[in-house]
Amino acid sequence: MSDSRAIIIDGDQAVFEITFGNALTTMVPIGNMKGSGEATFDSNTLCVLGDEKELKVENVPYNSPPFVGGQGTVKIEKLESDQVAGHTNSGGKKVILKGKKFKAKLEVSSPAKDPNGVPDPNVMYTGGMGEFKTTNTKFTGT
């Protein structure tokens, strides 16, 4: 089976890289997908297009020099074309595939501050990436 064609199922992980443009998180953000498809695999609901918008990792520490000590929420910004099935669907929605890497963003919830206490003016950092880690090794989509 091609690992990149594996269908993402409820509970699979979205593992984000630590770089979001000029911002760096001080931990590896990891979130669990919540499936809303009608079909299941090994008692786990399939993840369908739109489920990625519900995933968020909150209270992620970040720095963007000279600003340090901020917190934000990491989200999937956009899936790539190899992460959306062309034909396989569940409940009329295309299933999400492992694919390669998705685009990610960091939304600032508590701005980092510079040495003078001036807050980071950015409310969001884009340019992040992440990938799915799946326990599904048998069920693929096209």
What is the structure's pLDDT at 113? Answer: 98
Number of domains forming the structure of the chain: 1
- Domain holding 122, by residue range, is 3-133
Which letter, b or e, does each residue of 38-70 get, where b requires 16 or more Cβ atoms within 10 Å of its Cβ?
Answer: ebebeebbbbbbebbeebebeebbbbbeebeeb
The answer to whether residue 138 is domain-embedded is no
Q: Residue 2 above 60 pLDDT?
A: no
Return the beta strands (E) in 49-140 as ranges. Answer: 56-64, 67-78, 84-90, 93-96, 102-110, 124-133
- pLDDT for 1 beyond 50: no
Residue 140 placed within a domain: no
Residue 82 in tokens: 């190899």
User: Looking at residues 34-58, what average pLDDT do you find?
Assistant: 95
pLDDT in tens, 91-139: 999 999 999 999 999 999 999 999 999 999 999 999 999 999 998 877 7
Question: Three-class SS of residue 98?
Answer: coil
